[in-house]
Amino acid sequence: MSKAVKYSLAEDQIPDHWYNIVADLPEPLPPVLHPGTGQPIGPGDLAPLFPMAIIEQEVATAREIAIPGPVRDVYRMWRPTPLYRARRLEQAIDTPAKIFYKYEGVSPSGSHKTNTAVAQAFYNREAGVARITTETGAGQWGSALAIAGSLFGIDIKVFMVRVSYDHKPYRKAFMQAYGAECVPSPSDETEAGRAILAEHPHTTGSLGIAISEAVEIAAKNDDTKYSLGSVLNHVLLHQTVIGQEALAQMEMAGAYPDVIVGCTGGGSNFAGIALPFLGQKLRGGNDVRIVACEPAACPSLTRGKYAYDFGDTGHLTPLVKMHTLGSTFIPPGFHAGGLRYHGMAPLVSHLLALDLIEARAFHQRACFEAGVQFARTEGILPAPEANHAVRGAIDEALECKKQGVSRNILFNLCGHGHFDMTAYDEYLAGNLTDRHYDQKQLDHALGALPRVGP
Ligand SMILES: *Cc1c(COP(=O)(O)O)cnc(C)c1O
């Protein structure tokens, strides 16, 4: 058995700033538009939903944004996270490639989401906010925010997509253990929820619906703000601690990545590992290929339209330009619940449109197969979402084998799968099928995109 190879940083190497790629973009991001006027929104339009410090980060243009001391103090609980060389996986697939992975599953919530949850809870507390509402798909984001809320003394109310709420009772218990409230969505607590229930009483729910519910509560209550676990610029910004640490760790390994692979739901963990490397490239540094891996059942980057759309199903959010399947699209209930969002981070969408990144889609059985192979060689059982990155990395390594070339492949193992054993149970029992989205529903959802913007 080969020796485990782990690159660990010292605690004082936790980054002291977040990296903002907006400073290095060759073309600026398209503006966010007001749904009523079709004009660019200003900070004041977002003020009912977010504290001003977060709004400032959403539109920031500075390259480096300092991480507040209290946030860094919490990061110390699990950061810097380890980076490993996957030697035993390399041997198992007999590839000349070197495979490295950054492991974010060591955080108290088991995924990368805690990186932004802690920052968002901190800024809300600084602004005197009493309660934060949010949505959660598979439960990882609700869990991360529940932990952050308990650490900073803020009440958390989570709207959890119905299908996950029913299938993952442990997630609800986890959030409640930290003092958060967890409601299945759609619920009868909001107008948005009641409208959906009237039309589709047995709906599995969707992230888009849950977002509408959480936004509605925040907009109607002065002491309540809203928080999002992915998609927005400030969330991607907070995740750049991952890539900055990875830069230092790859230097320790003496191997600059040729390819970086990440899975994409809303785009935050992918951006977190990739953007600091992409920034180096944009400033004249090493070239690097960057590959986003998404589920074939919810393929926003590979099958969606790059267009202005709403972030939610109830059409309460501003319009952002992104790769979207349409805000009314409800993806089939496959097992990587964290990847079931109809849109994609505007920043990630912009990078794809500029050809600075690539995108690939994978079916779920091929992803679980990769995840199980990873667990049996490297010892860590990945989250079903992370399996898309594992699949992408293994495919890159197999391509190296075919071509007889060695490349350095780096991927983000964004979370562990300990809360997702039902999914593994079904995979191992042979009950998983590859889910296909309904083309008619997709055409319909794309046909109904709002007609605004350039
Ligand atoms: C939430 C989540 C995702 C998807 O969200 P991104 O913003 O695309 O990172 C992927 N993996 C894990 C483990 C998650 O918790």
Q: What is the pLDDT of residues 313-349, one digit of tens each?
A: 888 889 999 999 999 888 887 787 778 889 999 999 9
Residues 175 and 147 in one domain: yes
Q: In angstroms, what is the span from residue 330 Cα to ligand 1's centroid?
A: 18
Q: Please report the atom of ligand 1 found closest to the CA of residue 140.
A: 15
Same domain, 243 and 106: yes
| Residue with token string 């660019």 | 40
Q: Categorize the per-residue pLDDT at 254 as very low, low, confident or very high, splitting at 50, 70 and 90.
A: very high
Task: Using the predicted structure, report yes or no on whether residue 386 has a pLDDT greater than 60.
Answer: yes
With a 6 Å cutoff on the Cβ, whether 111 touches ligand 1 is: yes
Q: How far, in Å, is the centroid of ligand 1 from the Cα of 264?
A: 7
- The reply to whether ligand 1 has any atom less than 6 angstroms from the CB of 113 is yes
For residue 19, give the 3-state DSSP assignment: strand
From ligand 1's centre to the CA of 118, what distance in Å?
16
Tell me: do 178 and 200 sit in the same domain. yes
Q: How many domains does the chain have?
A: 2
Residue 33 lies in a domain: no
Instruction: Give the mean pLDDT of the chain.
Output: 95
Above pLDDT 70, what percent of the chain? 99
* Residue bearing the CA closest to ligand 1, atom 14: 338
Query: Does residue 51 belong to any structural domain of this protein?
Result: no
Same structural domain for residues 278 and 374?
yes
Taking CA atoms only, the protein residue closest to ligand 1 atom 1 is 338
Q: Are 157 and 131 in contact (CB under 8 A)?
A: yes
Residue 131 lies in a domain: yes
Strand-pairing partners, residue 158, are: 134, 182
Residue 333 covered by a domain? yes
Domain check: are 340 and 358 in the same one?
A: yes
pLDDT of residue 335: 81
User: What's the confidence (pLDDT) of residue 294?
Assistant: 98
Contacts of 185 (CB under 8 A, 6+ apart): 135, 159, 160, 161, 162, 165, 193, 205, 209, 210, 213
Q: Judge if 329 and 354 occupy the same domain.
A: yes
End position of a domain, from candidates 233, 259, 276: 233
Tokens of 39: 């004009």
Please check whether residue 52 lies inside any domain of the structure: no
Q: What is the pLDDT of residue 140?
A: 94
Over range 256-279, report the average pLDDT.
98
Q: Which pLDDT tens digit goes with each residue over 394-451? A: 999 999 999 999 999 999 999 999 999 999 999 999 999 998 888 999 999 999 999 8
- For ligand 1, whether the C-beta of 338 sits within 6 Å is yes
Residue 383 Cα: closest atom of ligand 1: 13
Q: Are both 251 and 139 inside the same structural domain?
A: no
Q: How far is the CA of 384 from the centre of ligand 1 (A)?
A: 10
Residue 3 has pLDDT above 90, yes or no: no
CATH number of the domain residue 282 falls in: 3.40.50.1100
C-beta 414 within 6 A of ligand 1: yes
CA-wise closest residue to 118 among 79, 145, 154: 145
386 Cβ closer than 6 Å to some ligand 1 atom: yes
Probe residue for ligand 1, chosen from 81, 107, 111 as the CB with the greatest number of ligand atoms within 8 Å: 111
Start-to-end Cα distance in the chain: 58
Residue 73 to residue 122: CA distance in whole angstroms = 11
Is 210's pLDDT higher than 90?
Answer: yes
352, 385, 411, 412: which to mutate for ligand 1, most atoms within 8 A of CB? 385
Q: Is residue 453 scored above 60 in pLDDT?
A: no
Residues 88 and 175 both lie in one domain: no
Q: How far apart are CA 255 and CA 211, in angstroms?
A: 41
Helix (H) or strand (E) holding 408: strand 408-413
Best residue among 230, 367, 388, 390 to mutate for probing ligand 1's pocket (most ligand atoms within 8 Å of CB) is 230
Residue 167, pLDDT score: 85
In one-letter notation, the amino acid at residue 285 is: G
Ligand 1: which atom is nearest the Cα of residue 235? 7
pLDDT at 39: 94
| Same domain, residue pair 102 and 145 | no
Residues 6+ apart with CB under 8 A from 264: 270, 292, 293, 294, 300, 301, 339, 344, 348, 359, 388
Residue at 26 is within a domain: no
Quick check: 72 pLDDT over 90?
A: yes
Domain check: are 78 and 197 in the same one? no
> If you measure from the C-alpha of residue 60 to the centroid of ligand 1, how many angstroms do you get, rounded to a whole number?
23
Spacing, Cα 339 to ligand 1 middle (Å)? 7
> In this predicted structure, what is the pLDDT of residue 454?
52
| Domain final residue pick, 203, 233, 263 | 233
| Mean pLDDT for the stretch of residues 24-47 | 94
* Domain end (from 218, 233, 248): 233
Residues 276 and 190 in one domain: no
Domain housing 295:
5-14+67-110+234-447
Span from the CA of 229 to the centroid of ligand 1 (angstroms): 9
Shared domain for 103 and 140, answered yes or no, is no
**Residue of minimum CA distance from atom 15 in ligand 1:** 140
- The verdict on the CB of residue 352 being under 6 Å from ligand 1 is no
* 3-class SS of residue 212: helix
Closest among 338, 198, 199 to 266, alpha carbons compared: 338
Mean pLDDT of 233-245: 98
Q: Is the CB of 230 under 6 A from ligand 1?
A: yes
In the chain, what percentage of residues exceed pLDDT 90? Answer: 89
Q: Does residue 213 register a pLDDT over 70?
A: yes
Q: Is 144 inside a domain boundary?
A: yes
Cα–Cα distance for residue pair 378/85, rounded to 1 Å:
9
pLDDT value, residue 124? 98
230 neighbors 268 (Cβ within 8 angstroms): yes
**In this structure, is residue 39 part of a structural domain?**
no
Kindly indicate the confidence band of residue 251, based on its pLDDT and cuts at 50, 70 and 90: very high
